[in-house]
Structure 1
């Protein structure tokens, strides 16, 4: 009983901390966005990417206790942003899943096949960066959300849920001529109570 109480208390504390962090990041994004209206001479950028992602589900699948399992999938996204100053930008992303995964999962005494699908994801980020004409390195910190669908093969068991949380990553890019960049990133898209969504992204970025 004491362990259950401690576990519930830790979960409530983490939920409260996560809400506070979300509000802090959102405040910073809005404040810097307002500041950007007065900035001049800094560039906008847009592009897209291909993500080799994994979704790790730990402890529960479709409401039942289950073994930890990792589903591998891929996604495409588009992105756009604006430089707030020489070293900081704001960036938004919107993506769609393009490949699903199916794994055998130990659920109670059964081992059914579970199909997992990433339908969409999105994020809004602050992007601190250091760049030269042909090189850039940057970080990403913000809020992201994703919709995940799960179904057990040959049954009516199905679930679809939207989760959101803090999102962060690190990227590096190279340019052959100064305005077109080829980037590679590692992103921790979402780390929620239900799953961890992370992956490596290959991106193309155009600076205006």
Structure 2
């Protein structure tokens, strides 16, 4: 009978480790964003953004997250129109997202998925004339986080920031989060 008590006690102790991964968390990422389009010279249109996020994990299947991203590097190029040329600047102003987050964790890493909705605003400047555009749509992604210590994780993500009929912005992110 005692032979079964030790394995039973060990099995009952496993959920207690996973339980301390629930609760509030906050963090930030550096985003490398692909606009999924090209300029007139055939070059990819890429952006950089910084993003802050916060959320709550009830358990591995139920979690919610809010994110706010600010663009800090866009693209500039020149379009040749016969003997004239036009300077074009395009940049992401900001984006805000809300996600349902599911997560599977162990002592070394976590794998998570994001399903949600994003509002994105970007600006273009054509020979000194500025225009702003806004688009909202579905957003999703996957990520892996590596445990650095009891409360801190180093995360790597792939995410469709927004994916509609008109536009598509994808991102590779590196970041961290802190579990309270």
Give yes or no for TM over 0.5: yes
CA contact (8 A) 2:60 2:102 kept: no
Q: Give the secondary-structure state (helix, strand or coil) at the position aligned to 2:58.
A: strand
Following superposition, the deviation at residue 205 of structure 1 comes to: 0.5
Residues 141 and 167 of structure 1 are in contact (CA less than 8 Å); yes or no, is this contact kept in structure 2? yes
Q: 1:84, CA displacement in angstroms?
A: 2.5
- 1:73-92 equivalence runs, <5 A: 73-92=47-66
CA RMSD after TM alignment: 2.7
CA positional deviation for 1:115: 0.6
How far did 1:77 drift? 1.0
Asked if residue 45 in structure 1 is aligned to residue 25 in structure 2, the reply is yes
Larger Rg: 2
Residue 103 of structure 2 corresponds to which residue in structure 1?
A: 129
In the superposition, the TM-score normalised over structure 1's length comes to 0.68
Larger mean CA deviation between 75-84 and 112-121 belongs to: 112-121
Residue 198 of structure 1 and its aligned partner are, at CA, apart by 1.1
The residue aligned with 1:196 is 168
Task: Give CA deviations for 1:58-112 in whole Å, capped at 9, x if unaligned.
Answer: 8xx9xxxx897632111101100001323331111001011121134578xx863
CA 1:131–1:52 in structure 2 vs 1: closer, same or farther (change >3 Å)? same
TM-score by length of 2: 0.78
Counterpart-to-counterpart distance in 1, 2:80 and 2:102: 42
Q: Which runs of 5+ in 2 are unaligned?
A: 1-18
In the alignment, what sits opposite 1:146?
Answer: 120
1:125-156 per-position Cα deviation (integer Å, ceiling 9, x unaligned)? 0011101133100010000011100112xx24
Pairing 1:54–2:34 present: yes
Residue 71 of structure 2: which of 97, 100, 110 is its match?
A: 97
The alignment partner of 1:112 has SS state of strand
The answer to whether residue 45 in structure 2 is matched with residue 71 in structure 1 is yes
Contact 1:56-1:69 at 8 Å conserved across structures: no
